[in-house]
Amino acid sequence: MIILGIDPGSLKAGYGVIELQGRKMTYLASGVLKFDSKLELIDRLGPIHESAVDLIERYSPDEISFESLIYVKSVTSLAKLAQARGAMLAAFMQSHQKKVFEYSPNLVKSTVTGHGHATKESVDKAVSMLFGKREFATHDESDALAIAACHALNRNAQKKLGTQTQKSFGSKRTLKQVFSRGFEK
């Protein structure tokens, strides 16, 4: 199974692609999509949408995981992030309806580092431990890989966008717990 992780943004967005085979996660690709900061947000939404379509065509993911909206310092920043995220979601939902999942930043951090308020550097280190030593262009890239890994480890207990599964987020597990017990089937 190919999982695409997305750390959305209106100026840049991180992506991470991993393969999940049984209990093994393998790094396939990652990077940062950059959008022209000279353009107004409304004019960046088309390229944001197109870049999401390109990711689907390039990597053919089976499932897509997203970071959910978070509280930011300004309403303007939140509105821009929400619109960019919406442009990407619109692209992904055309071909991956009921296969797009979202995770809170704290759950992502908790899953990969064991601490929900971990620093960006801690997430980088945990992702490097999972997928081998890597130099990341930005924290967006390592965050996207962390989001993909979070989905791989929590996918059976996840709330899909627009629907509710039987299990709650109370069954989330850390990497230590997963590797000591294995994945749920």
Catalytic residue numbers read: 7, 67, 140
Q: At what angle do helices 105-113 and 120-131 cross, to 10 degrees?
A: 50
Helix (H) or strand (E) holding 55, with range, is helix 41-59
User: Encoding tokens for residue 24?
Assistant: 């093994």
Angle at 140 between CA 90 and CA 169, to 5 degrees: 70
- Residues counted in the chain: 185
Neighbours of 121 (CB within 10 A): 10
Are 44 and 36 contacting, i.e. CB atoms less than 8 angstroms apart? yes
